[in-house]
A and B are shown apart, each in its own frame.
Chain A
Amino acid sequence: MKHATPFVTSVAVLVMLPIIAIAQEASTRLASHGIAETFEQRMSHEAAVIRATPGESIWQQIPWVFSVTEGQKLAQAEKRPIFLWMLDENPIERC
């Protein structure tokens, strides 16, 4: 199995510094209030920063049809326009 070279590892560590800063920022906020943050609390804070906000995932509330022919049948039946989104990935898998 290959391992990352020391150079790659060094670059990765340097580039990761801002991420570590995000985690430390949350810890510092708690510490300034005299509260020692547990590992679980830190994980929870970091997760909240990464997790999608309601606005970012609002498109998931649209009742998508995943077939143009099925969509057109529905459009004709309901006399509605079609909104067609062509993606490079599967919207119900990775997107």
Chain B
Amino acid sequence: MLTDPQVVQLIRDYFIPVAIDKQTFFGARDREAIALANRMTGGRAINLGVHTASPDGDKINTFSAAAQSSSPAAAVSFLRQAMQQVGAAPARPAQNVDLYPNRGVGALADGSVRLAATLRYVVNGHPSKKPVFDSITLSSAEWEAMLPPKTAETRYDVPEEIVRQFSRVVGPESDTSNLLLPQHVTEAHLTGTMSGHGATGTDIVLSGTISASRPYVNDRNKIMPGFARIEGLLKLDAEGHPIRLTMIFNGTFKMPWAGSPSPTTALVEWRLH
């Protein structure tokens, strides 16, 4: 639904778009907000889904999951129904939106960086059409540890505790209860090999592997294992400062109900400007 340009344009122009992370929302125990969300959804706030509501917060309609996956036209009709019920209002002024400031670009004031991650399953040999978006935040010291130490001549190992931070991209599930965390890592190594050192800078070819597994949240006897082979290229300027990082993780991840591991792929990237 939210990948259709007409649907997105209607929401941008004529609605107040509200996105709620259910886990954080109910965890905050804000009774007033929960009561309002229940009114907006007809008592279904606990369920995932898409709803329209009046300016007073009364439910207008809920978009069915079946239609959601099938037809942009059904989504447009769903939106227009709410627009007609509330009445005409002019289009909202265009707004520049940046949901992810600093994701994948530059450094924050404290020197930390947010690497941009895109994760996908691989279906029939092709990356799936449903990417998962994520970030890997490295502190200034952790970012520094990705770089070759002063004593390195041609090769160096990135410290394991840094490589563990990349566990987030091993399993391409968006639900954070299925997320592989650094403490779930069972094996991780990453080696940098310097090449092309010269007046224009240094290229560092990264190579390694990472394996992790965690218990399934609804049945701790079931394990979700993931593995990825890592390849990457870190480009440094002539003074040794990073200017671009590209890392690719090709591997597998297995949900508890899957008969065998599913192939996965992920991209982690960052650039200075």
Contact = CB atoms under 8 A, between A and B. Distances in A.
Contacts of A80: 14-16, 55, 86, 89, 92
B3 A81 contact: no
Interface in A43-95: 43-44, 46-47, 49-52, 55-72, 74-76, 78-95
B3 A40 contact: no
Contacts of A90: 21, 24, 176
B37 interface: yes
A40 B56 CA distance: 55
Interface string A1-40: 1111000110110011011111100000000000000011
A58 B21 CA distance: 19
A76 B205 CA distance: 55
A57 B135 CA distance: 15
A63 B174 CA distance: 21
B95 A63 contact: yes
A81 B82 contact: yes
A38 B83 CA distance: 53
For B16, B47, B122, B231, the residue with the greatest tally of chain A CB atoms inside 10 Å of its CB is B16
Given A8-B225, A56-B3, A59-B3, A72 B57 contact: yes
Given A56-B3, A64-B99, A85-B20, A19 B265 contact: yes
A58 B8 contact: yes
A83 B11 contact: yes
B261 A11 contact: yes
B97 A62 contact: yes
B17 A18 contact: no
A61 B261 contact: no
Interface stretch (B105-113, B126-134, B149-157): B126-134
A26 B266 CA distance: 17
Interface in B197-221: 203, 205, 211
Contacts of A11: 252, 260-261
B133 to A, nearest CB: 6
Interface of A: 1-4, 8-9, 11-12, 15-16, 18-23, 39-40, 43-44, 46-47, 49-52, 55-72, 74-76, 78-95
Interface of B: 2-5, 8, 11-12, 14-25, 32-33, 36-37, 40-41, 45, 47-57, 60, 79, 82-83, 85-87, 89, 92, 95, 97, 99-100, 118, 120, 122, 124-127, 129-135, 168, 174-176, 179, 186-187, 203, 205, 211, 225, 227, 229, 231-233, 246, 248, 250-252, 260-267, 269
12 contacts: A4-B187, A15-B262, A18-B126, A50-B267, A63-B12, A64-B18, A64-B97, A81-B85, A83-B79, A84-B37, A85-B18, A88-B175
